[in-house]
C-alpha cells in the first residue's frame, strides 16, 4: 500500500497538537525534522518515512527500518520547560512507546534510558536530539518485521512475532503519539509520577550489568533509577549515579 494512503485515515486519532507528514523516502526522519524546525515548523510536527537511506540510532549507530514493516518517525517539540530538563524527554518517549505498544497486546519493559523491550528483546529504539530552541524525538518500532538478520535474531523482535498477527501500522503510530503527547509534558511538573511508570517497567533493576560511562567501562548491579532519571549502579566505586551511558548490557552467568 502507498504509505500516504496507509496513514491518511488516522488524522482524527492523533492529538490535536500534532500534524503528520508522510514521506516515501528520506535520509533520516530526525534530519528532516531538523530542517523543518530551522524553517520554523510548529511544535508537534511529525515526519514518518517508509524508507530511510541514512537512519541512525544512538551514537551514530545504523538503524534499519524495513519499508512497509516497521515505523520510522520523528516528532518536533519546542518545550516550554527549562532546557536542563530536556534530557528527560528520552525517558518520556520510551515510556510513551511502551504504553502505546501495550495497547496492541504486548507487555513492554524499558531498558534505560529509552530502548523498549518485549520478553528480553528490543522492539523499539529512541533517539532524542536537541537544537537551540527545539528537540527532536526519533522513534523506530519493529511492527510487522517477520525475520531479522542472524546477528540480530536473538536480540530483536517485532509486534508481529510477539502477537502472531499482522498489526495496523497506522493504529500503532496513533497509539504511541497519543501517549507521547501526555508524557512529553511531564518532564517538569508530574515528573515523579512519570518516573514511577518508567521504574515499574525497568528491565535493568536488580540485574548485573555492564556499560560504558564517559570516563570508562563499568560493571555492577543496577539498583534502579534515581529521582532525576539517572541510573543507579552499585559496583567497586560504590553507588554511582549515571546520567548517560552507552552499550548497557545485562550480564548472564556466562558473560
Whether the model clears a pTM of 0.85, i.e. scores above it, the answer is yes
Question: 3: part of which helix (H) or strand (E)?
Answer: helix 3-6
Residue 72 has pLDDT above 80, yes or no: yes
Query: What's the rounded Cα separation, in Å, for the pair 130 and 32?
Result: 14
Long-range own/partner contacts, residues 101-104 (CB < 8 A, 24 or more apart): 101/141, 101/159, 101/172, 101/175, 101/176, 103/175, 104/159, 104/163, 104/167, 104/171, 104/172, 104/175
**Confidence at residue 114, expressed as pLDDT on a 0 to 100 scale:** 86
- The answer to whether position 255 is within a domain reads no
CB atoms within 10 A of CB 83: 11
105 and 215 share one domain: no
Region 64-77 average pLDDT: 88
pLDDT of residue 252: 84
How far is it, in rounded angstroms, from Cα 67 to Cα 232?
Answer: 38
**1-25 per-position pLDDT tens digit:** 687 889 988 889 999 999 999 999 9
Those residues whose C-beta lies under 8 Å from the C-beta of residue 71, and which sit 6 or more positions away, are: 48, 65, 139, 140, 141, 143, 169, 172, 173, 176
In this predicted structure, the answer to whether residue 57 has a pLDDT above a threshold of 60 is no
Residues 152-166 have pLDDT tens digits of: 888 999 999 999 999
Same domain membership, residue 81 and residue 22:
yes
Greatest CA separation for the chain: 55
Does residue 135 surpass a pLDDT of 90?
yes
To the nearest whole percent, how much of the chain has pLDDT over 90?
Answer: 81
Q: Which of 5, 43, 195 is nearest to 133 (CA)?
A: 43
| 134-157 core/surface letters (b: 16 or more CB in 10 A; e: else) | bbbbbbbbbbbbeebeeeeeeebb
Chosen domain end from 165, 181, 199: 199
Give the pLDDT of residue 184.
97
Last residue of one domain, picked from the residues 179, 199, 219 = 199
Give yes or no for residue 63 having a pLDDT over 70.
no
CATH at residue 29: 3.30.930.10
Residue 51 is predicted with a pLDDT of 87
pLDDT surpasses 70 at 132: yes
Same domain membership, residue 140 and residue 55: yes
Mean pLDDT of 27-34: 94
Predicted pLDDT at 64? 61
Whether residue 122 is found in the same domain as residue 162:
yes
Mean pLDDT of 113-127: 94
Residues 190 and 226 in one domain: no
The upper half-sphere exposure of residue 45, i.e. CA atoms within 13 Å in the direction of its Cβ, equals 21
Residue that is last in its domain, among 176, 199, 222: 199
Assign 58 a pLDDT band (cuts: 50, 70, 90): low
Q: Are residues 226 and 138 in the same domain?
A: no
238 and 141 housed in the same domain? no
Burial class (CB in 10 A: 0-12, 13-18, 19+), 240: middle
What average pLDDT does range 91-115 have in this prediction?
A: 96
Does position 219 have pLDDT exceeding 60, yes or no? yes
Domain extent, residue 235, equals: 208-250
User: For the residues 105-115, what does the mean pLDDT come to?
Assistant: 95
Domain count for the chain, please give it. Answer: 2
Average pLDDT, the chain: 92
Residue 40 pLDDT > 70? yes
pLDDT band at 171 (very low <50, low <70, confident <90, very high): very high
Cell of 53: 537511506
Amino acid at each position: 500500500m502507498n504509505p500516504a494512503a496507509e496513514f491518511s485515515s488516522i488524522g482524527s486519532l492523533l492529538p490535536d497538537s500534532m500534524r503528520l507528514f508522510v514521506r516515501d523516502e528520506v535520509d533520516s526522519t530526525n534530519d528532516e525534522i531538523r530542517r523543518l524546525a530551522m524553517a520554523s515548523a510548529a511544535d508537534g510536527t511529525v515526519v514518518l518515512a517508509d524508507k530511510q537511506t541514512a537512519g541512525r540510532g544512538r551514537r551514530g549507530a545504523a538503524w534499519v527500518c524495513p519499508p512497509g514493516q516497521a515505523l520510522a518517525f520523528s516528532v518536533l517539540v519546542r518545550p516550554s520547560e527549562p532546557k536542563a530538563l530536556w534530557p528527560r524527554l528520552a525517558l518520556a518517549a520510551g515510556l510513551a512507546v511502551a504504553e502505546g505498544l501495550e495497547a496492541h497486546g504486548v507487555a513492554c519493559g524499558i531498558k534505560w534510558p529509552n530502548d523498549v523491550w518485549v520478553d528480553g528483546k528490543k522492539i523499539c529504539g529512541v533517539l532524542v536530539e536537541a537544537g537551540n530552541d527545539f528537540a527532536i524525538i526519533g522513534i523506530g518500532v519493529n511492527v510487522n518485521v517477520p525475520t531479522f538478520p542472524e546477528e540480530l535474531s536473538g536480540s530483536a523482535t517485532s509486534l508481529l512475532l510477539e502477537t502472531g498477527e499482522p498489526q495496523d501500522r497506522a493504529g500503532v503510530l496513533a497509539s504511541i503519539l497519543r501517549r507521547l503527547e501526555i508524557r512529553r509534558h511531564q518532564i517538569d511538573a508530574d515528573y515523579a509520577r512519570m518516573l514511577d511508570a518508567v521504574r515499574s517497567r525497568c528491565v535493568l533493576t536488580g540485574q548485573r550489568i555492564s556499560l560504558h560511562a564517559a570516563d570508562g567501562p563499568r560493571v555492577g548491579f543496577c539498583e534502579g533509577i534515581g529521582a532525576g532519571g539517572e541510573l543507579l549502579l552499585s559496583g567497586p566505586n560504590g553507588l554511582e549515579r549515571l546520567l548517560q551511558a552507552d552499550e548497557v548490557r545485562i550480564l548472564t552467568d556466562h558473560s
